[in-house]
Amino acid sequence: MSQHISRQWALPAIAALLALAMPLTSMAGTRSGKASKETVPELSTRLIIRLGEGNLDAPLLAKVRAVAAKQGLNLTHLRKLARGGDVLDLGKALPPETLHKLAAALTKLDSRIDYVEPDTVMVPMTLSDDKHVGVQWNLTETAGGIRLAGAWARTRGQGVVVAVVDGGVRPHVDLADNLLPGYDFISNRTAARDGDGRDANASDEGNWYTRGQCTSDQLGAEDSSWHGTHVAGTVAALANNGIGVAGVAPGAKVLPVRVLGRCGGYTSDIIDGILWAAGVAVDGVPANPTPARVINLSLGSLAACGKSMQLAVNAARDQGAVLVAAAGNSAIDVKKFSPAGCAGVISVGATTRSGAQASYSNFGTGITVSAPGGDMRAQAVDGVLSTLNSGTKRPATDVLAYMQGTSMAAPHVSGVVALMLARNPQLSVNRVEDLLRASARPLPGACRGGCGAGIVDAAAAVTAAGTALLLSDN
């Protein structure tokens, strides 16, 4: 298997995609080292309400509406959530602190109300998006890589579905054959850019925005990131096809679940996406014909895990899905972050090419394991290379590009979990986490504040999964 890996990265193979990327060379390096976006408080127009018992009936909704009206808000009921709770729209965007106060006041309004919480906006966990072409140190190098070759000798993830709950995907030539149809859960048509609410087409339509559209403090404009395509490529880009990159689990299939559009995505859409990915029925959406065993969440917000998100995580786990979340890029304790700070989620910190904790990575006892997220401050090739699109707004041509962030670290772990489950489909959600921790290797570089059990080790994890298989057979 290892000779196949080296052939995959031979120069002629890379040259094929380099040709596609040529028009982009003038952009190289221009967006490196930019401050992370997810630390900026995002505006939300929505609340989630959940009752301890019964349904949100018209009289209770009227009471809630009356409180909102006193603050000049025209509150409306948007829809029910898949596993209890309702989404309310306030008619206008409020800063997080205002929304929290309103939620707290509404929680106390009636004894039937279990809680009201902000429908927090989550964003991708990427730091930068420079476009270059080179080698995949993250999979192979001794210092910072995940020791993939030894795992591929046993499995490439055949038969496992990995949901990428993200911004949707582009049908990149080095990825398309591993993409399932998926679904688009973005309920806001402006954010979705596809002219409607939820639909069966999970294509990424571009998440570019102009100055002042997305944040309360009027930061600058952003080009489309094609983040979901990059994350999906790290999970399962095609291997041994003579072009581009290889994913961690090229035998697995990616289920694209689109939840992030312009300005990010609402928690209410993300939790419905998570539930659907795991095989839970969601109102108004056809049943998922290919439920995922692994759910990758390279997204988040600077907010502790909310009750609605925790309930969704619990329900997905009950379906047998392993949830893997980016720890976040704010260099703070992961417990202040969601969904990485939720219980029952495999929370992934980021490491560099030399195997040290990445300076931006969140940390803490809540980190399960670490994985390559890259650090592009010195040079772009120290980032994580994967599939991307060249379009600055609308999609254009297929390219490969380096990105960095815990967004890039999480799909390494999702891929490794897919390899483990292909090796041993009987592994429980808890057993996967135990084996991942036990098989991780210590960081060869520095870590402050907690990097979990170490850098995920694909070869050791797959071996551990196989050993568990032998034991369970006895």
Interface residues with Ca ion (CB under 5 A) are 174, 184, 192, 194, 196, 199, 201, 238, 241, 244
Are 399 and 131 spatial neighbours (Cβ–Cβ below 8 Å)? yes
Are 295 and 278 spatial neighbours (Cβ–Cβ below 8 Å)? yes
How open is the CA angle 309-312-315, to the nearest 5 degrees? 155
Task: Indicate the pairing of strand 44-51 with strand 299-300.
Answer: unpaired
Q: Report the nearest approach of Ca ion to the CB of residue 349 (Å).
A: 27
Q: Is the dihedral of CA 137, 143, 146, 150 positive or negative?
A: positive
Of 192 and 326, nearer to Ca ion (C-beta) is 192
Interhelix angle 429-439/406-423, rounded to 10 degrees, is 110
Query: Catalytic residue among 132, 172, 227, 230, which?
Result: 227
Indicate the SS3 state at residue 274: helix
Are 435 and 427 spatial neighbours (Cβ–Cβ below 8 Å)? yes
Q: Report the nearest approach of Ca ion to the CB of residue 284 (Å).
A: 12
Phi-psi region of 427 (alpha: psi -120 to 50; beta: other; left: phi over 0): beta
**Active site includes 407?**
yes
Q: Which residue is nearest to Ca ion (CB)?
A: 184
Q: Report the nearest approach of Ca ion to the CB of residue 153 (Å).
A: 19
Q: Report the nearest approach of Ca ion to the CB of residue 13 (Å).
A: 8
The contacts of residue 233 (CB under 8 Å, 6+ apart) are 172, 174, 175, 245, 247, 386, 387, 388
Residue whose tokens read 């720890």: 327
Of 103 and 122, nearer to Ca ion (C-beta) is 122
Nearest one of 180, 368, 192 to 276, comparing CA atoms: 180
Of 241 and 314, nearer to Ca ion (C-beta) is 241
Give the distance between the most distant pair of CA atoms in the chain: 69
Q: Tell me the β-bridge partners of 350.
A: 371
Of 201 and 379, nearer to Ca ion (C-beta) is 201
Are 421 and 160 spatial neighbours (Cβ–Cβ below 8 Å)? yes
Q: From CA 264, how far away is CA 101, in angstroms rounded?
A: 22
**Active site includes 196?**
no
Q: Which two tokens stand for residue 124?
A: 């991708």
Are 367 and 450 spatial neighbours (Cβ–Cβ below 8 Å)? yes
Q: In what order do the strands lie in the sheet with 113-118?
A: 76-80, 86-94, 44-51, 113-118
Residue type, position 424, single letter: N
Residue whose tokens read 């049908």: 171
Q: Report the nearest approach of Ca ion to the CB of residue 288 (Å).
A: 16
Q: Report the nearest approach of Ca ion to the CB of residue 372 (Å).
A: 18
Of 224 and 347, nearer to Ca ion (C-beta) is 224
Are 49 and 112 spatial neighbours (Cβ–Cβ below 8 Å)? no
Of 164 and 348, nearer to Ca ion (C-beta) is 164
Of 46 and 50, nearer to Ca ion (C-beta) is 46
Q: Report the nearest approach of Ca ion to the CB of residue 261 (Å).
A: 9
Q: From CA 410, how far away is CA 370, in angstroms rounded?
A: 8
Q: From CA 309, how far away is CA 289, in angstroms rounded?
A: 23
Query: Catalytic residue among 89, 166, 269, 382, which?
Result: 166
Query: Catalytic residue among 330, 407, 414, 439, which?
Result: 407
Residue type, position 92, single letter: K
Rg, Å, the chain Cα set:
21
**Active site includes 166?**
yes
Q: From CA 29, how far away is CA 41, in angstroms rounded?
A: 27
Of 113 and 263, nearer to Ca ion (C-beta) is 263
Of 89 and 184, nearer to Ca ion (C-beta) is 184
Q: Report the nearest approach of Ca ion to the CB of residue 192 (Å).
A: 4
Q: Report the nearest approach of Ca ion to the CB of residue 173 (Å).
A: 9
Active site residues per annotation = 166, 227, 407
